[in-house]
Amino acid sequence: MRRVVITGLGALTPIGEDVDSFWEALKSGKSGAAPITKFNTEKFKAKFACELKNFNALDFFDRKEVRKYDPFSQYALVSSDQAILDAEIDFETIDRTRAGVIWGSGNGGIQTFQDQMKEFCEGDGTPRFTPYFIPRILVDIASGIISIKHGLQGVNFCPVSACATSNTALIEAFNYIKWDKADLIISGGSEAAINEASMGGFASARALSTKNDSPETASMPFDVERDGFVMGEGAGALIVEEYEHALKRGAKIYAEIVGGGMAADAYHLTGTHPEGEGAVLGMREAMREAGLGPDDIDYINMHATSTPLGDKSELIAAERVFGSDSKVTISATKSMTGHLLGAAGAIEAIACVKILQHDFIPATINTKNIEPDFADLFDFPIGIEGRSKTVNYAMSNTFGFGGHIASLIVKKYKGKNER
């Protein structure tokens, strides 16, 4: 079976707009939550989110390009360019028919859709839509734009599995390379959903935290006082590559992808199964493919969005998979980044890669009182201080509305002589 490695990283997040600053913020326990600046929140239940702090599209695109691309596509291009640069890829020297893009988003161009419909409804009924309206809103357009920019003619598509989307994209990239259908794939996800429609919709579903008096502490996964997730935005990009292909071009290798598990709760439109049925299946399948047992996993980046039911069901699932005397360390980086929806899996996979690289696990900030039935079952770094620990295998969980489950396992890379 062909081995699959990660050779480049790019990140555009609410706590750092490149990989190094993202990692430093994770280590220091920095919160990205603050009052929303993008629109007037006076009448909204949730008035805060984890926005990108310094992003200006005109720093990366000319005005004509800005008109073409919804923010989620802009984020995709910026983060994927970071990853390409990091991987030192010269597209002139590789087979572009064997290089592709598998990129996801949960909502696509929701900002464009909202803005254009608002303009139409407030007008005189004359349709004055931009000619870029349809391509801007298409959820698959980011993967197309990336491939067009770099002339990549290999596999190109967009999986959509709500908040499991970019983990699904990474698992698909892993599969296509493993199956010898590609040698190199740009994979990840992007999301730009901090707007009136998205915030209003998630609030109506009672999914968002309403701790408006203290945004920076509102995302508190596993805590008994958690009341919902904090919306985030941004993108994460990973260069996923066949091992020998990477060695041949002298690429640095960050980590190896060794397993991916996808499953379904088959239970509820928006809620996770109370016994974590799908999560159990996804984690077990990822470990089966990797040839690992529960004792082999050193760290799990939990989906843990800070919702009352979701966090508990994932803890139940983890106990079912890893047992009641597990030594696995778990944390939730969403306590800092907020929930990037379809982009969550990508930035959390990057966090796992950095954890493998540095043997350091960031804490789950804001969390003080862990669900009492689980507080003694796992190793929970909480507060601000992270923890040094040798991590050889890391798992990243993502779950999406509709019952979608995607679990990814990455392995520390120790050199070409180590299998």
Backbone angles phi, psi at 71, to 5 degrees: -55, -35
Kindly name the residue from 50, 245, 273, 303 that is annotated as catalytic. Answer: 303
- With a CB cutoff of 8 Å and minimum separation 6, the contacts of 20 are none
Encoded tokens for 317: 């699932």
Kindly name the residue from 50, 158, 163, 352 that is annotated as catalytic. Answer: 163
Give, as one character, the DSSP assignment of residue 369: S
Q: Can you tell me the distance from the alpha carbon of 55 to that of 131, in angstroms, rounded to the nearest whole number?
A: 25
Contact 207, 354 (CB under 8 A): no
Q: How far is CA 250 from CA 226, 246, 356, in A?
A: 47, 6, 21
404 is a catalytic site residue: no
CA dihedral 166, 289, 239, 63 (to 10 degrees): -10
3-class state of residue 12 by DSSP: strand
- With a CB cutoff of 8 Å and minimum separation 6, the contacts of 40 are none
What pairs with residue 257 in β-bridges?
4, 410
Tokens 């109506």 correspond to: 204
- With a CB cutoff of 8 Å and minimum separation 6, the contacts of 104 are 139, 143, 158, 159, 160, 161, 165, 166, 168, 169, 188, 189, 342
Which is nearest to 97 in space by CA: 147, 32, 24, 52?
147
Kindly name the residue from 50, 158, 273, 339 that is annotated as catalytic. Answer: 339
Contact 7, 350 (CB under 8 A): no
163 is a catalytic site residue: yes
Listed as own residue / partner, the contacts of 201-209 with beta carbons closer than 8 Å and 24 or more positions apart are 202/46, 202/231, 203/44, 203/45, 203/46, 205/270, 207/270, 207/307, 208/45, 208/46, 209/46, 209/306
Q: Can you tell me the distance from the alpha carbon of 164 to that of 345, in angstroms, rounded to the nearest whole number?
A: 7
Encoded tokens for 349: 């996979």
Indicate which residues carry an active-site annotation: 163, 303, 339
